[in-house]
Amino acid sequence: MLLTISKADDALARAKRGDQAAFAHLVREHQAMVFSIAWHFLHDRATAEELAQEVFLHLYRNLMAIETPSHLGHWLRKVASHRSIDYSRRMRLRPRVGLDQAPEPVTRDHEADPLLTGLLHRLIDRLPERSRMIVVLRFQEEMEPAEIAEVLDIPLGTVKSNLHRSLAVLRGKLERSQKGVRK
């Protein structure tokens, strides 16, 4: 573990001195996490990739402000979360794509219950941006409420109550939709 920490410290220090290979190493080390946050929030691969590129460009411009490898991970989660929310808000103001312009649906091979999974994704997508990001960070990124509070710059109590309320809303909507299916 100590060896890993020293390698991470070394890569960060070298990147700060302008070593492009060290910066590329930092990007490779964190790109899956940044992409995952954006993709699970936006459900659009191309947009998530573009947003991840923006996050790493922002990192490149602000690299000197990063103090430690753990600070780097926290900083990247925070920026990815906020950029995803901002993008989602901007998209609400833009016109939607017409059905004739929409791409063909892609099927996934190994989902346990694709109808339930799809329904759950649609219900989560209807949550307000901050609630949706809290759910994504908690259950997709497996972050603890205290970490989420830190990343989103909101009080821990707000995260907990928002998460509790969001889960109650999702449960209620799932139950109502299941009753409609059984009838």
- Asked if residue 8 lies in contact with residue 69, where contact means CB atoms within 8 angstroms, the answer is yes
The rounded distance, in Å, linking the Cα atoms of 129 and 11 is 34
The rounded distance, in Å, linking the Cα atoms of 127 and 131 is 6
Which pLDDT does position 173 carry in this prediction? 86
The single-letter DSSP state of residue 17 is T
Delineate the domains of the chain, giving CATH numbers in brackets: 9-96 (1.10.1740.10), 111-183 (1.10.10.10)
The single-letter DSSP state of residue 43 is -
Q: Where is pLDDT greater, at 93 or 31?
A: 31
Interacting residues of 86 by C-beta distance below 8 A, sequence separation 6+: none
Q: What is the pLDDT of residues 127-175, one digit of tens each?
A: 999 999 999 999 888 899 999 999 999 999 999 999 999 999 988 888 8
pLDDT over 90, % of the chain: 62
The chain-wide mean pLDDT, for the chain, equals 84
- Asked if residue 24 lies in contact with residue 14, where contact means CB atoms within 8 angstroms, the answer is no
Which pLDDT does position 114 carry in this prediction? 62
Which pLDDT does position 139 carry in this prediction? 87
| Residue 97, pLDDT above cutoff 60 | no
Q: What is the pLDDT of residues 61-89, one digit of tens each?
A: 999 999 999 999 999 999 999 999 999 88
Q: What is the pLDDT of residues 4-15, one digit of tens each?
A: 456 778 899 999
Q: Is 168 helix (H, G, I), strand (E, B) or coil?
A: helix
